[in-house]
Structure formats: structure tokens, C-alpha cells
Amino acid sequence: MTTNTAPPMITKNHLIQLITLSALWVFVGLVTAMYEYFFLANYPGVLDTQPMLNFDLQRNAVAAVGGLFIGSLLFGFLELFYFQKRMVREKFWVAILKKVAVYALLLFGLLVGISLAYNSFLSGRSLRDPVAWQETRAFVTSIAFWHPVFPVLCLALLSSFLIQLSERFGSNEMWKMFTGKYFNPKEEQRIFMFLDLNHSTTIAEKLGNEKFYGFLNDFYHDIAGVITQHQGEVVEYVGDLVVITWPFPVGVAEARCLNCYEDFEKAIRLKGETYLKRYGTVPQFKAAVHCGKVIIGEMGKIKKTIKFSGDVLNTTARVEKVCGKIGAKIVITDKLKHLLIDPPYALEKVSNVSLKGKRAPIDLYKVGM
């Protein structure tokens, strides 16, 4: 096994977050430039100070918007690909202090860069012109330097808060709650995967409660990127089982609901030696995938969440229970099989499988991986 770490992959979810952050930061850059010009212009003497001489709204807006656009990309990559990986196990207050320190350095460099851009090529000078550097130095050492600090710092903290909310609830669920998409229950065609750890009881007895909790948590963290990469959504974690869903036809396009499982195995293999050192075992798992119509809606008053209801979930849970009995790592139902176009894996039919609580037996397919 290897300990090599896969390079960070930009998923569709990451792109949406980066685009949203960039739009927000560009808007704030424009508002900040207008604030500096129209608000400060009402205070006699402010625009007459050395850093504010020859202040031009258009040039300042271009510098602010361009600088904050670059800043939003730097911030986004830090949050999505550095902090989320490096600080996932940090205590809350430790992570906050480290972030504040990094953001302070980033903000300082960003404001210096914006000022230098404003005083050099946006003012018709060369980047090496000593006048551009002199005026930039005058800005950095003046009180005018602090005018944009507060709004940009608030922007960074707000952006970080939104990303944390997105991680906590899932960007799709947070957006659906915000827009009220499922305020009134709706019926949708959905694909579900029930992914369950093998021998979890034995592992829990061997490791003890605390260490087994770490084992589960590491497993869920290591497969999270794969789920978002394949455009899946986590419905819930139930002990050693995770329920994943895809809207139709997203889940069957390019066989995402099957390729997802193969990439789970690859992700865990990459961390194999780490698991062996920490826990003495590597996670093994099985999965059942089924599809059908469900009711989706907001449920609850305290800790309101989006819930799925329907026989599809019960059937998927029953199919997952028979995976071991028929010797399969991943099983799909006959109903899902007919929706897949040219599946990239061999499918072995197992006929007339009886499921607990179901009157009629069904046909299942073992997926060869």
C-alpha cells in the first residue's frame, strides 16, 4: 500500500463556491471604492492628504475590483484546499487564531498590491517607477490605509462563515433551505446508495468506543471528496452507514452512482498505511444502490433539515443487508440496471432474492469491480 496523497481536485461544488465568493468580493470591492470616494469626499481635508491626492474613482474601482477578485481566489483556495485539510482536526479557537493570522498577512499584501497597481500602471507609470513606490509607501503608512481594512476583514470572516455553513449542511441542502425549494414537500425521482462498513462490531470491540469513533470519522472524511466529485449528496450518517443520494438523471449519467464506489476504494487504498498505523485495520465496505420516487421536504422545528421519505429507502436498506449473503461488494436493483446506459462494469444477475418485509422477491445485480 502507499501513502501518496492525491492532488486536490476541483469539483463542481468547489467551482460554485469559488464563483460565488468571487462575485461577492468583486461587489464589495466596487462598493468600497464608491464609499471611499463619495463618503470621504464629504469630509474636508481627507482627500487633501498625501495618499488621497489625485484620487480617481474609476482607477480606484478597477484596482479594488481586480485586487479583490484575486484575493477571493486566494481566499477560496486557502479555505477549500488548505484549511479544510490541515485544520480539520484543530480545536475551534486554534483554527480561528491561525486563520486570522493568515488572513491578516493576506489582507496586508492585497492592499499593498491594490495601491501599487493604482499608483503605477493605472496611473500611467511603470511598475518600477520610484514615484509609484513612494506613493504606495505613503498610503500604507497613513490612516487612509485602514479605511478598507474593516470591510475586507469582515468580508473574509463572512466568507469563511458561509463556507463552514456549506460544509456543515452541504452546499446543496443549504441552498435548498435558503430558497425554500422543499418548504412544501415534493415528489422526485432519486437514486440512493447505502454504504456500510464491514465487520464494524468486531472492529468496535477491538478498538474501543473512542478509537472506533476516530476510525469512522476518518473514513467519512476520506470519502467526502469522492462524493462531491461525483455530484452526490450525503443524506445522513447512521452509525457505520452513510446514505448518499443523486437526483435523476445525474446519478446514472456516466454511471456516477457506480464509479463513486470504485473511487471510494481508491481513496481508502491511498490512506491504507495510515489506517494500519492508527487502527490496525483498513476499512472495507459494501453498498446497495436503488432508485425510485420519494417525497422530499423540510422536517422538524428544532434542527430543521431536509428529509426523504418513501419505500425506496426501505428497499435499499434491505438490499444492503443481503450483500454479504450473495457475496457482493456492491449490488444494484433491477430497476436501476435498466436506467444505466452501457455500464462500465460486468453485471451478474441474481434472481428472485427475498428481502425482509417484502412480499415479492426481486432481481439483483452484483457489480464486478
- pLDDT tens for 74-101 read 887 877 777 766 665 566 667 767 777 7
Percent of the chain with pLDDT over 90: 29
More confident residue, 148 or 6: 148
More confident residue, 172 or 211: 211
Query: Can you name the residues that pair with 243 across neighbouring β-strands?
Result: 194, 236
Average of per-residue pLDDT across 157-165: 70
CA–CA separation, 259 and 343 (whole Å): 10
More confident residue, 192 or 103: 192
pLDDT on residue 90 = 64
My answer on whether omega of the bond before 185 falls inside 30° of 0, hence cis, is no
pLDDT band at 309 (very low <50, low <70, confident <90, very high): confident
| Listed range (46-50, 57-61, 132-136, 347-351) with the worst mean pLDDT | 46-50
- The DSSP symbol for 345 reads S
**What's phi and psi for 194, nearest 5 deg?**
-105, 110
Mean pLDDT of the chain: 80
CA–CA separation, 307 and 176 (whole Å): 12
| Listed range (44-58, 229-243, 351-365) with the worst mean pLDDT | 44-58
Average of per-residue pLDDT across 114-132: 83
Lookup result for grid cell 425521482 = 189
Q: For the chain, list the domains and their CATH numbers.
A: 12-169 (no CATH), 180-368 (3.30.70.1230)
**What's phi and psi for 82, nearest 5 deg?**
-115, -65
CA–CA separation, 315 and 333 (whole Å): 9
| Listed range (10-24, 126-140, 247-261, 324-338) with the worst mean pLDDT | 10-24
| Listed range (211-225, 229-243, 296-310) with the worst mean pLDDT | 296-310
pLDDT on residue 352 = 82
Q: Is the per-residue pLDDT at 139 higher than 60? A: yes
State pLDDT tens for residues 179-229: 666 677 888 899 999 999 999 999 999 999 999 999 999 999 899 889 988
Cβ(196)–Cβ(285) below 8 Å: yes
pLDDT on residue 304 = 67
CA–CA separation, 361 and 359 (whole Å): 7
CA-atom Rg of the chain in angstroms: 27
* Angle at the Cα of 17 from the Cα atoms of 11 and 20, rounded to 5 degrees: 140
- Where does 300-361 show beta strands of DSSP type E? 305-309, 330-333, 346-353
pLDDT on residue 123 = 79
pLDDT on residue 137 = 87
pLDDT on residue 1 = 36
pLDDT on residue 212 = 94
Q: Is the per-residue pLDDT at 59 higher than 80? A: no
Q: Which helix (H) or strand (E) holds 74?
A: helix 57-77
| Listed range (11-25, 75-89, 158-172, 284-298) with the worst mean pLDDT | 158-172
Is residue 128 helix, strand or coil?
A: coil
Q: Does this model's pTM top 0.85? A: no
CA–CA separation, 217 and 194 (whole Å): 17
Lookup result for grid cell 493605472 = 122
Q: Cell digits for 197?
A: 462498513
- The DSSP symbol for 5 reads P
| Listed range (234-243, 253-262, 348-357) with the worst mean pLDDT | 348-357
Q: Is the per-residue pLDDT at 337 higher than 80? A: yes
Q: Is the per-residue pLDDT at 175 higher than 60? A: yes
pLDDT on residue 3 = 37
pLDDT band at 6 (very low <50, low <70, confident <90, very high): very low
CA–CA separation, 351 and 360 (whole Å): 12
More confident residue, 170 or 215: 215
